[in-house]
Structure 1
Amino acid sequence: MTPFRPGVAILLASLVLLPGCATPIWDRDSARDHKHRHSDVQVGPRPAWLVDGMDAGPLKEKLERCNLKRLRRTDFSIGHRGAPLQFPEHTMESYVAAARMGAGMVECDVSFTADRELVCRHAQDDLHTTTNIVTIPALNAKCTQPFVPADPAPGLPARAECRTSDITLAEFKSLQGKMDAFNPMATTPEEFVGGTADWRTDLYASRGTLLSHRESIELFKTLGVKMAPELKTPVVEMPYEGDYTQQDYARQMIQDYIDAGVAPADVWPQSFLLDDVLFWVNEMPEFGRQAVFLDQEGITPRTSSLAYMEALKAQGVNIIAPAIWKMLALDEQQKIVPSEYARNARAAGLDVIAWTVERGGPLTGGGGWYYQTVTEAINKDADVMKVIDVLARDVGVIGIFSDWPATTTYYANCMDID
């Protein structure tokens, strides 16, 4: 097992040290108490606000009757990039917020740097929108596309593209995470890093501590949460620099968990590339048993068929994770029901995870991309609760990714879902 990294220890101590306490909470008691100590779940006002706005009926009544004096953490609630509805994604602060909201599992999306170190970023090429890199001249100059200001006269937007593979791990760690946004008509780097959507907030963006993949593992161990790393599809040509193959990359991610002494049962590796999942299934089977295939194929007779699902199962895939809309349909009464895709996935013996609720803004007017197959049944934010209910009770998903895990935690506790 690799030793605990001092940088992470300092970050954790500064985060959870209470006023008047000389010893950090995370280091005060034995390791066996971590889960209990961090299970003081706080969901805040949003879940109750959503329930208040629901249409009258049995589901609303049940959610209103919940006795939630002591909420518990649940694996059903998965922190998608942490809690990025209000915290800068893939930062220590976002991960801790997700755990405090009762997420039993938290996601580090994994990309690699120029020196082939693994870091937590949603995409290899998003540093210009998720960090302050363009405001640092020396690092901006290393970007694939350094910042170019907008030209308002002809209406040309600003341009930038900064990749994790443009910089080293040390340079990556010098950056500050921010809300994922940019101002397309910015004429300065400082203007470019603005643009946060009005339904999000910069209230918690004053701190955004970036983490390497290994540091995220140590943080998650301390928080007592399970881990859902996603191997992000590279935007650079692989093999990188001629000798770093996709399999090297996939193996390196799992090796970090082995080196850290994490039990395979606590890790749910994910990828949009089926070849990555099959590599883990065949080459690293202890971790491959819980490997998650993030299925982004469009809905066609083939990709929603029972034969398609059975073929995945026959190759050793046990868990499939499609976008919410692929698992939902409307019946003749315009009621949300499981789709053919969802029914066939379950019939083939696949477990299913859904992504992503509390993402994409207000649900007025149909809910947008994530709800495209059930638009007619979605007209307000509170409708997310009936979507979660169908996914849980009718589809039978084992977990739901959320940008605000408090919502899924609240539902799971009300319904006594572990």
Structure 2
Amino acid sequence: MHFTTSTVVVGLLAVAASGVSAVPAKRRPDKGHTSRRVELGPRPEYLINNMDEGPLKDKLALCLEKKVYTTHFSIGHRGGGCLQFPEETMQSLVAGTRMGAGIQECDLAFTSDRELVCRHDQCDLHTTTNIVATTLGAKCTTPFEPASDGKAATAKCCTSDITLAEFKSLCGKMDGYNASATTPEDFLHGTPNWRTDLYSTCATVLSHKEFIQYVDSQGLQFTTELKQPRVPMPFQGNYTTQMYEQQVVDEYVEAGINPSRVWLQSFVFEDVAYWLKHAPEFGRQAILLDQSGDPPTSTVEKAAANLTFYKDAGVKIVAPPLPYLVSVDADGEYVPSIYATKAKELGLDIITWSLERSGPLAQAVARNDYYYSTITNGTHRDGDMYKLVDVLAQDVGVKGIFSDWSATVTFYANCMRLF
């Protein structure tokens, strides 16, 4: 069954009512908070119980029974419910909102008829939807090919391969695939064992306009990331990058959204520069996502050296990944990095990503997970998650944290009164 948007919202609101840390949230008009009751479930308490003994654990434990409010410090990454709900879908969006995310994300791609949709990558439909097991699979850039003779199964399916109507006929699923699959149906499997397929039962994929409508109805703020096109531009000969950059702005304007509620994002400096020049009311709080220090071609130190250029160009907010901002000292304690120190010296605001992306932290460290690559020597247990969040908030001074499970950040922000 493919749910309609209204059915999903009503059904998931009923399911979400089982969280154990639920308390009524009051509307705070000065902050634009939703009046929806925030429910955190058991994870924050689990993380606190797993922490090393000390003042931070004691302080967080005292907050477990306090009232919880929606907070802009908590940003729903791909909706904010991706540990259990398919990313970039209505289900993830509703779950993250229920867990108090005050800013919600839609990563943006375009269809063959140039409509904007929420996808983390323009060409991820083969791992995040059921497309290869539908008749639309024949339209994929690379249709499904089974595993054989020691070669892995493959497929590559892009939003630009299909129309908006065709995209809306798909079911969202947990990101993953089965490399040994011999049939399209088998290819759909492959969810990491620390996530779940319990709610992966034909999740509702979203257009950007649907995303705007839902987030606006909840009184929240928006962050839309313009994903880099995976097809040659101009697309179809005349759809330019500049048209793509402008289209996201136009959809917010057409929906009557005040630019102060919108935080556009891009990894591409030229996108942010376009908004600064051509849509300054949106550009003034556009976020430059910065991954320029990734190995093997660069370092975090080199990325920090670029910050002066961004500042001089008018960028006000940078968003590097977690490992750019925190390192460990000689005692194995988390401390601000060179990048974090430089950004603060320049007066740049900082947002970071993505908490709860890595599964159990002991496993993440063992496989040298990207998000913990600079702090492996100081990370030993799941409870270290809150030690990391505390350093990011109190020492680095980030303005918000993207998370795949919004309750974790929402709880911390409420305890520390970061609204």
Counterpart residue number, 1:98? 96
1:236-385 residue pairs with structure 2 within 5 A? 236-298=231-293, 299=299, 301-305=301-305, 308-364=306-362, 366=365, 368-385=369-386
Pairwise CA distance, 1:254: 1.1
Are residue 413 (structure 1) and residue 414 (structure 2) matched? yes
2:108 to 107, 110, 121: 110
SS of residue matched to 2:350: strand
Residue by residue over 1:352-382, the C-alpha shift from the partner in whole angstroms, topping out at 9 and shown as x without a partner, is 0010110122110526210111110011111
How far apart, in 2, do the equivalents of 1:68 and 1:405 lie?
A: 18
Counterpart residue number, 1:56? 53
How far apart, in 1, do the equivalents of 2:61 and 2:12 lie?
A: 33
How far apart, in 1, do the equivalents of 2:8 and 2:247 lie?
A: 25
SS of residue matched to 1:364: helix
Counterpart residue number, 1:29? none
Counterpart residue number, 1:4? none
Residue by residue over 1:151-179, the C-alpha shift from the partner in whole angstroms, topping out at 9 and shown as x without a partner, is 1xx32110100000000000000000000
1:222 to 198, 203, 217: 217
1:34-53 residue pairs with structure 2 within 5 A? 38-53=35-50
Return closer, same or farther for 1:15/1:332 CA change in 2, 3 Å cut-off: closer
Counterpart residue number, 1:142? 139
TM-score by length of 2: 0.90
Q: Which runs of 5+ in 1 are unaligned?
A: 1-6, 19-31
How far apart, in 1, do the equivalents of 2:121 and 2:178 lie?
A: 19
Residues 77 and 400, structure 1, Cα contact 8 Å, conserved in 2: yes
SS of residue matched to 1:353: strand
Amino acid at match of 1:269: L
Pairwise CA distance, 1:15: 5.0
Return closer, same or farther for 1:246/1:36 CA change in 2, 3 Å cut-off: closer
TM-score by length of 1: 0.91
Residues 8 and 218, structure 1, Cα contact 8 Å, conserved in 2: no
Pairwise CA distance, 1:222: 1.0
Q: Which runs of 5+ in 2 are unaligned?
A: 16-28, 294-298
Amino acid at match of 1:229: T
Return closer, same or farther for 1:174/1:210 CA change in 2, 3 Å cut-off: same
Counterpart residue number, 2:25? none
Residues 93 and 207, structure 1, Cα contact 8 Å, conserved in 2: no
Counterpart residue number, 2:117? 119
Pairwise CA distance, 1:209: 0.4
Residue by residue over 1:189-245, the C-alpha shift from the partner in whole angstroms, topping out at 9 and shown as x without a partner, is 111001111100001111400110001000101122111100000110111112111
SS of residue matched to 2:232: coil
Return closer, same or farther for 1:274/1:140 CA change in 2, 3 Å cut-off: same
Aligned residues: 392
SS of residue matched to 2:362: coil
How far apart, in 1, do the equivalents of 2:186 and 2:14 lie?
A: 35
Q: Between the two proteins, what is the percent identity of the paired residues? A: 52
Pairwise CA distance, 1:310: 2.4
SS of residue matched to 1:304: helix
SS of residue matched to 1:287: helix
Counterpart residue number, 1:387? 388
2:188 to 187, 190, 193: 193
Pairwise CA distance, 1:9: 5.2
SS of residue matched to 1:107: strand
Are residue 79 (structure 1) and residue 85 (structure 2) matched? no
Counterpart residue number, 1:202? 197
Residues 96 and 223, structure 1, Cα contact 8 Å, conserved in 2: no
Return closer, same or farther for 1:208/1:300 CA change in 2, 3 Å cut-off: closer
SS of residue matched to 1:88: coil
How far apart, in 2, do the equivalents of 1:285 and 1:251 lie?
A: 12
How far apart, in 2, do the equivalents of 1:335 and 1:14 lie?
A: 44
Return closer, same or farther for 1:69/1:61 CA change in 2, 3 Å cut-off: closer
How far apart, in 2, do the equivalents of 1:53 and 1:302 lie?
A: 36
Counterpart residue number, 2:22? none
